[in-house]
Amino acid sequence: MNKESDLSSCTDSCFPSGEGGSCPAPTQDMESVNVPENESPSIEPVMPKDENPETKAEGEGNRDWEDGKKSGEENISIENGSSSTEMNNEVPQETDEVPLATDPGSQTDIPITSVEKSREEIPIANAKCGTEYLFDVDAFIRQECLISVTYSDNQGDLLFYPEEMVVKGIPLTSRDWWVEVELPDRICKFFCYVNADPRTLWKDIPSDQKVKTDKDYKAILSPQVDMVGVSYRGRSHANKGTYRDDDFYIHSMDGIFFSVVADGAGSAELSSTGSKVFCQSAGQEFVRLLIERKKRILDMLQEAQFNLTACRQHHSLIKCLYEILPAAAYHGCKQLEKLAADSQMPLKKYNTTALLTFSMQASEMWWFCASFQVGDGITVAIADDNLYALGSPDGGAFPGETLFVTSDSIFGNVAELVNRIKIYLCPVKPIIISMTDGITDSYFKDKSLADLQIWKQLISEICNEKGNLLPAAEICEWLDYYTVQEHDDKTMTIIKYK
């Protein structure tokens, strides 16, 4: 190969026409350094003044070009038959122009930038464990601009869906969560906190089962009536391992169905025992007194021709009921006084409310029920689309304040005791429900106790498809439903005619 011809070819390809210079003739074949036609020499990115360009690989020379002219001198020396190249490594002068990098695979010039992307942190709505979550991020970013997505963890229960531009899922664990979405001009970080399911934070510490079980249930079933009593310890007690303050008593005899429901005061140290003793003693006295007076009651109902208004004005009937309902409650209270004296404890440590109810069929076409109440809670009778309250809760000057059967003012006023007796007659088979405030405050939270539809909903949840009551154990477990900020004991008795 003609070396002069090669040198001329090299010079023509490296310098613009008319601006070329002489090049010393090499002593070896320059084919290895020929620049292919139609291809510009690669240009290194501009480096800061306090930094040196990267060292080229052995055998490659550093060339600086400006306006098509060589800015540094090239010296070639021959050592032992081989050539070595020494270049003047001057740092290029800074300019306002953005340097370009040539992609070897194309002829497209790509701007090189080292500017760090801005970061934007965007709070989104907090999530809750076990609850479906959905948040729309379309207002913050556009789908066509997405480059990459990075998560705070790999649990996969809460994800960003680019095709829908939403964050959604059902998170399973409580934690700080975020997702970073990279865009051409910035990085958006969406973050929230996954709150724990409050139900998982409650402890369930058993109490001493020898004193009182943490839940109780009983059923009395007959061809005419199903009767159930259930009581469930509240989370506020379970979390501390303390006793269930509520209690109940149910009984049936000679076609009469009795129930007693008691809610021991949470502020009374021994109210758990107080409610239990009251239910048993008042319930047994209740049965004894009512059986003795059953025939008299039926006769007086017939005299009043089963007219509710006439029954309420029937002096002998009201007097008879007074000898049963308040008298049974008074007997239960006296037993608490005896217990307090024997234990040398103040009576108020056994404070409890009381709901006494009974029902019986008065004739082929009429059903009769009566109730006596001291304290909070409620008893209602429901017949078809009619709802009747068999009592009204006692309140105080402050929320949660109520009266107890052990209060001094309860049994000292006969007129007041008579006003606490409520009766009801209905021409269809009723369902009578008594419950403590643990249910009224939670199930009827922000709702009216006079709302018939809510009562029908409750009944549908404790009955099967045929309209019969569920087994007592299932109804008892049903009482474990969760309501925010309502964690008291729940107790209920149901008398349902078939």
Give Cα separations from 146 to 84, 160, 183, 455 (angstroms). 50, 12, 5, 53
Per-residue model confidence (pLDDT) at position 211: 84
Residue 258's φ and ψ, nearest 5 degrees, are -110, 150
> What pTM, to 2 d.p., does this model score?
0.70
Residue appearing with tokens 């149901």: 494
Q: Can you read off the two tokens belonging to residue 372?
A: 């006596």
Which domains occur in the chain, in start order? Answer: 1-112 (no CATH), 118-201 (2.60.40.10), 215-497 (3.60.40.10)
> What's the sign of the alpha-carbon dihedral 252, 228, 465, 486?
positive
Low-confidence ranges of the chain (pLDDT < 50): 1-92, 94-110, 112
Per-residue model confidence (pLDDT) at position 141: 87
Per-residue model confidence (pLDDT) at position 55: 37
Is residue 213 a contact partner of residue 483, using CB atoms and an 8 Å limit? Answer: no
Is residue 438 a contact partner of residue 489, using CB atoms and an 8 Å limit? Answer: yes
> Residues of the chain with pLDDT > 90: what percent?
69
Written as one letter, the residue type at 185 is: D
Is residue 355 a contact partner of residue 384, using CB atoms and an 8 Å limit? Answer: no
Q: Can you read off the two tokens belonging to residue 21?
A: 């210079």
Per-residue model confidence (pLDDT) at position 145: 78
In terms of phi and psi (left: phi > 0; alpha: psi -120 to 50; beta: otherwise), the region of 57 is beta
Per-residue model confidence (pLDDT) at position 451: 96
Can you say how many angstroms the Cα of residue 215 is from the centroid of all Cα atoms in its chain? 25
Per-residue model confidence (pLDDT) at position 198: 87
For 32-40, which contacts have Cβ atoms below 8 Å and span 24 or more sequence positions?
32/59, 33/61, 34/6, 34/9, 34/10, 35/10, 37/13, 40/102
pLDDT digits (tens, 9 = 90+) for 437-463: 999 999 999 899 999 999 999 999 999
